[in-house]
Chain A
Amino acid sequence: MEKIVICTVCPIGCNITVREENDELVITGNQCKRGLTYATNEYLHPVRILTTTVKVHGGDQVLVPVRSAEPLPKELLFSAMDLIRDLTVDAPIHRGDVLINNILDTGIDIVATGEIKC
């Protein structure tokens, strides 16, 4: 299998080709080492930081912005969204508060990125 990965580590945006040959990855087109790591991860297990909002009850705002504390496996983004969408939390909320612990058994928390007062 062969896949073209556009490196997003720096603005140059190399088009990196990842090819599997005899159980080994052959990576070409990267201009630096960081691209090698990026392309390997992107090919084997792509991950993304998930950001969205959570409904707030009794706060000065109706929504609190949240993120996954660490990047989540890309294929889990929609399932994670389904869980987060159903959640309502009570004010006050502080930046960094864990709103969902260990989402989808990934070991990764969903945390608040904003502050909500009562």
Chain B
Amino acid sequence: MQRITCDVLVIGAGPAGLAASIAAKQEGAEKVLIVERDESIGGILQQCIHPGFGLSYFKEELTGPEYYARFADKTLELGVEVLLNTMVLDITDEDVVCISAKDGLSIIKAGSIVLAMGCRERTRHQLTIPGSRPSGVFTAGTAQRLMNRENAMIGRRVVILGSGDIGMIMARRMTLEGAKVIAVVELNDYLAGLTRNKVQCLDDFEIPLLMKHTITDIKGRKRIESVTVCEVDANNIPIPETAVEYPCDTLLLSVGLIPENELTHKAEIDISPITNGPVVNQYMQTSREDVFACGNVVHVNDLVDNVSLESERAGQYAAKYALGKLKKREDVIQAQPGRNVRYICPQQIVNAEDGGEINLYFRVAGPEEKVRILVKTGDKVIVQKKALRVNPGEMEHMRFDAREITSPDLTVEVMKEAI
């Protein structure tokens, strides 16, 4: 068994882990170590060969591999150490246990830990579609990996359930490879992913998007042969008279992502029931003082640019903690979701009187037009902005200084603009 010590240990070498490790180094942590279970770094971006990354962070449009390469080069330059093919099994009170085929078990003692394990896809078992269980049913991310990294053409006639970004991106990918995408089926009356992806992945190729529809049956013995699609009523109950059967050989599920939270659970860190990720404060610090978290393990992000910014903060403060430079937390304020706000991240602000920039990311519960977004403390409005349109698929962001929080409460709300 190997014993390793380091100042900051980062779990996961996706964009979150890479950005955190760079920031930790820059903050002065001497030994920064990333542990990654995959054989290479980059995380999910290795299979995201499409463009659309970096528009806000780098002010240019990059593909996934180009985006993470910029961070990877920097980690090497700064001397961050990376252990590949190594999986973290457990985080105990004293140390971190990981395993690899080459070295067996290793025990790592770290001054602080950054969780950056990303997310996983929801699968059909977590939904409930009746019908048989033939082959040809994939989550959109699995299909993406098979096509983009393993050169497998997975099907010719495709139906996609869910209007998440990965599903829409795969609709375009498969169309360009010569498959026929029959439709994207979405239960809600709003898009789950980004409008940009609807325009460039569906509209460009005249792929129909069926809103307020769902799949009610899957047929096929060995391979999937057809799906039945129904319109749903106001309560999302399928209307049997509207049923249409579409012959197909492939069904992709793009029905959402959830943070990879097994390790977080094991470490007995407080988890938000809404995001399914750890509860964090503005330093991206979890309920366990020495554990920080960033990226999709905290809450599922639609833009990697936000992940990078948030992860830099996690790495910076994890380094401060390891170096004994982070003040004890006092005066915890809970950020409360107000009208039409589903969740806010970070959920807590600590030591507000010390000031510092606060970036609140949040999602609305339902789509709305012509609204005003307000951040309030007591009776005071700290910041506000108008928005023409808000959508659960697009994360919102408000920025202000912690010193503005003058009462022991903080609320974000979305109000209809009086006309």
Residues A11 and B195 in contact in the complex (CB < 8 Å), given A63-B149, A74-B204: yes
B200→A48 contact, CB < 8 A? yes
Minimum CB–CB distance for B107 against chain A, Å = 30
Give the A-B pair count, Cβ closer than 8 A. 72
Q: For A61, list chain B residues within 8 Å (CB).
A: 149
Q: For B61, list chain A residues within 8 Å (CB).
A: 49
Task: Please measure, in the bound complex, the distance between the C-alpha atom of A13 and the C-alpha atom of B389, giving whole angstroms.
Answer: 9
Which of B51, B151, B200, B394 contacts A63, CB < 8 Å?
A: B151
Binding stretch for chain B, among A17-25, A50-58, A99-107: A50-58
Q: How large is the interface on A (under 10, 10 to 19, 20 to 34, 35 or more residues)?
A: 20 to 34
Binding stretch for chain A, among B62-70, B84-92, B255-263: B62-70
A49→B49 contact, CB < 8 A? no
Q: What is the predominant secondary structure among interface residues of chain B facing chain A?
A: helix
B195→A51 contact, CB < 8 A? no
Q: For B149, list chain A residues within 8 Å (CB).
A: 61-63
Interface residues of A in 63-108 (CB under 8 A from B): 63, 65-67, 74, 77-78, 81, 85, 95
B195→A113 contact, CB < 8 A? no
Interface residues of B in 183-207 (CB under 8 A from A): 194-196, 198-200, 203-204
Residues A11 and B394 in contact in the complex (CB < 8 Å), given A51-B49, A53-B49, A65-B148: yes
B148→A53 contact, CB < 8 A? yes
B388, CB-defined interface residue at 8 Å: yes
A12, CB-defined interface residue at 8 Å: yes
B241, CB-defined interface residue at 8 Å: no
Which of A6, A53, A78, A85 contacts B195, CB < 8 Å?
A: A6
Residues A51 and B177 in contact in the complex (CB < 8 Å), given A8-B195, A8-B196, A31-B388: no
B330, CB-defined interface residue at 8 Å: no
Task: Please measure, in the bound complex, the distance between the C-alpha atom of A48 and the C-alpha atom of B199, giving whole angstroms.
Answer: 11
Task: Please measure, in the bound complex, the distance between the C-alpha atom of A13 and the C-alpha atom of B204, giving whole angstroms.
Answer: 16
Q: For A55, list chain B residues within 8 Å (CB).
A: 151
Interface residues of A in 23-51 (CB under 8 A from B): 31, 48-51
Nearest CB in chain A to that of B205: its residue: A77
Task: Please measure, in the bound complex, the distance between the C-alpha atom of A67 and the C-alpha atom of B388, giving whole angstroms.
Answer: 34
Minimum CB–CB distance for A58 against chain B, Å = 14
Task: Please measure, in the bound complex, the distance between the C-alpha atom of A40 and the C-alpha atom of B150, giving whole angstroms.
Answer: 39
A62→B151 contact, CB < 8 A? yes
B419, CB-defined interface residue at 8 Å: no
Minimum CB–CB distance for B283 against chain A, Å = 27
Q: Which 10 A-B pairs have the closest CB atoms?
A: A65-B49, A8-B196, A13-B195, A49-B51, A114-B65, A113-B65, A113-B63, A62-B151, A113-B66, A51-B50
**Could you list which residues of chain A lie within 8 angstroms of chain B, going by C-beta atoms?**
6, 8, 11-14, 31, 48-53, 55, 61-63, 65-67, 74, 77-78, 81, 85, 95, 113-115
